[in-house]
Structure 1
């Protein structure tokens, strides 16, 4: 147990009355020769970006599009070609959640800074727009080296001044201004910056070559499905761009709920159905072991930090995997009362509402959890279909586009089990399904190896900086 004695006057002197141990421990260490935050950095003020500036294709990154190495995997957006999978990006941008950057800027995540999702802006990514959930910094000297210091020498200090909430740490601009930097260390890095930079540049060149081999998982999934079933994604992409087309009155009367939306009647949707129906006459309802089920609602009193079960919200599945979060632990009584909304390995959870509609996650591990009311559970009959095959099929561009055209609503759009169960489902032998799953996993594994190699190289940069400091020359 760590014990620290702090005067009440010290706590009261801090505007937000912070009482966390690491923060006060850090403040007591600020002795000796130091550089203040303002001597090394400035915080770049947010400037308004008009939507008229985004009148063609552009790149945009949220925190979730950054990995732990600080590499960016931007979304390619175009307001003229909005789609379901990226709708949440468009909505946030429309609300002003967007910043522009320039070369040598540094971005520090305000949410979970402990994950090291920090970005260094270089020529290759200075045209990317980013979410304003980053703190936007501009270094006044050796920006490349100071960026890597945030990932190594500055890291413990950064986490110490972060605010430790129940769920995860957060950081704000005022907190960041509290940082102090050892003057001897900074002067040492400044003295050796040419040598350090040359070593870093050599490693970064190798990293750039490896990054050229990286593919998004959705591209891998689409490639495997298109090769196996000869899906024509080129024609599909062209049809999606067509905004004006003619419809007969019978096109409206032939759907059960008289759908009039242009999106529902697009030629691209008819093309997807045509391609899928050419290879199967089965629907999802033919492959489920029980009806597709909506999740359970929850109130604040149902959460219990000492609980053993989790609430699987839409935020939990935003990365297309189940991410268990200790801030989402629920009480034993709530879990027992909603046991019919629990999950087990092999279940597929699909977001059915809001901007995340269509996002799909696969339950790999055995744990106690209740899925949220804005999601639905698809439980596949394992004797008829491989659940992992269904999961990857649900993540394909064709399936996601069906969700996009069949969803309903003005403000809050929804899609329901009665609709999902009628979507086409590819019907091939389970052995062939497994081959497709194996191929997708193999391609993803290759990508993971590349990412692992990049992590190793980036770790060497941290070592270069630490060795310079330890050597003291």
Structure 2
């Protein structure tokens, strides 16, 4: 048996070192602290975070000003997508007062969720509290070099040690950057531009997985995505007194009353008059809660949490193992081949699904649900749950406030699902898989170019 030792010196305490069992030293050793490259070498003034206007105020949202979240970041080139998912109004800017407007060309670094993700904005944007605007002295550091170093090196270190944690300004300022002079950084970035051009060309031929799935389902069921996208931009609604007796949803946020939701339901009901409940082999099951004492690196069962399915498939590498006593006690929360696990909580995760494609010893988490179907192709169901239409239904039917939103089996089981033969389902699955394979080849080519960038950075 080997034992890993970790030494801590008293003088480190003032630097806010983490006292947990994970090793954070890789972030703070070798090189020059980021603080030395800040505009005024003062992390309190040179690193700024934003804020989010109230989601309860309808008049704050749907305006003309880009409000950036991490969902707006192209993670191949680390720049903003052309269209921001959220926009705010003049009213929000005026009444909130301390909104942070970041100028074009600024470097932003995530301080939450995908901690360490860095990107440069190509236009003036407003930011939320989950990103830092880092003001640099660009006579000392090349901003593009810093961007790639964070994404290729630092972000991976964060992935290993910063689970479900916010990064402070001070912690960010202490992260060390290689001691490479500005002239050398400029030369490296000049070489990187060639690789960036290669990625841009490859991306023009690449479709994201949702687009592939939507295209195939749209062709089969004649989904009208153009009208859907138009209706999604409609941010007004009205409630009549006659609706009150019909248990009308009285929440004031526009998203719960968008006509796009009614349109999607109409399109799906035209496709099928059956719901998910008609194809269940057993009732949809909620997962098991867990405490820290239940984890055991020598356990036989993996714990399938929301984090392990956030990429639309089960990621066994990020899954923790649980104690045998815990897995025995929660045998009814186990999974088997072709189960579908759906996240039922958390903004950015709610509604995401993963298909268990092999025999697996696993217990699914409290904030997920297990869907078992019979006489239905599990791959077809999995792809259907990933369509923009189904995901939009999750968006408008979820309950809760802020990041504490939930959707429950009682809602999911009554949502519509296509009622076509198993043979037709298989044809659609084959089309999607074929297109996915083509995208996978392009993705591998992009990864190959990114590896060349990594070699230049390191």
TM-score band, normalised by the shorter chain? 0.7 to 0.9
Counterpart in the other structure of 1:259? 248
Counterpart in the other structure of 2:342? 350
Q: Are 2:184 and 1:145 equivalent residues in the alignment? A: no
Change (3 A) 1:316 1:462: closer
Residues 47-446 of structure 1 aligned to structure 2 (within 5 Å): 48=50, 51=53, 55-56=63-64, 58=66, 60-62=68-70, 67=75, 70=78, 76-78=85-87, 100=102, 102-103=104-105, 105=107, 107=109, 118-121=117-120, 123=122, 127=125, 129=127, 132-133=130-131, 136=134, 138=136, 140-141=138-139, 142-150=142-150, 155=153, 165=161, 172-178=168-174, 185-186=180-181, 189=184, 193=186, 195-240=187-232, 241=234, 243-245=236-238, 249=242, 258-261=247-250, 267-324=259-316, 328-355=320-347, 356-381=349-374, 384-408=375-399, 413-446=405-438
- With 212-221 and 333-342 compared, the bigger mean Cα shift is at 212-221
Pairwise CA RMSD of aligned residues? 4.4
Taking the aligned partners of 2:454 and 2:258, their CA distance within structure 1 comes to 52
Preserved contact between residue 50 and residue 127 of structure 2 (Cα < 8 Å)? no
1:235 deviates by: 2.3
Counterpart in the other structure of 1:83? none
Taking the aligned partners of 1:281 and 1:447, their CA distance within structure 2 comes to 33
Change (3 A) 1:181 1:432: closer
Query: How far does the alpha carbon of each residue in 1:28-68 deviate from its partner, in whole angstroms, 9 at most, with x for none?
Result: x86xxx76644444553215457469833636232895647
TM-score (norm: length of structure 2): 0.75
- With 36-45 and 276-285 compared, the bigger mean Cα shift is at 36-45
1:379 deviates by: 0.5
SS in 2 for 1:278: helix
Preserved contact between residue 345 and residue 366 of structure 1 (Cα < 8 Å)? yes
Q: Give the number of aligned pairs.
A: 431
Change (3 A) 1:399 1:5: closer
Taking the aligned partners of 2:127 and 2:71, their CA distance within structure 1 comes to 12
- Structure 1, unmatched stretches of 5+, are 81-93, 467-473
Taking the aligned partners of 2:181 and 2:438, their CA distance within structure 1 comes to 39
1:375 deviates by: 2.4
SS in 2 for 1:276: helix
The higher radius of gyration belongs to: 1
TM-score (norm: length of structure 1): 0.73
- Structure 2, unmatched stretches of 5+, are 54-59, 90-95
1:229 deviates by: 0.8
1:430 deviates by: 1.7
Change (3 A) 1:168 1:342: same
1:337 deviates by: 1.2
Taking the aligned partners of 1:300 and 1:444, their CA distance within structure 2 comes to 38
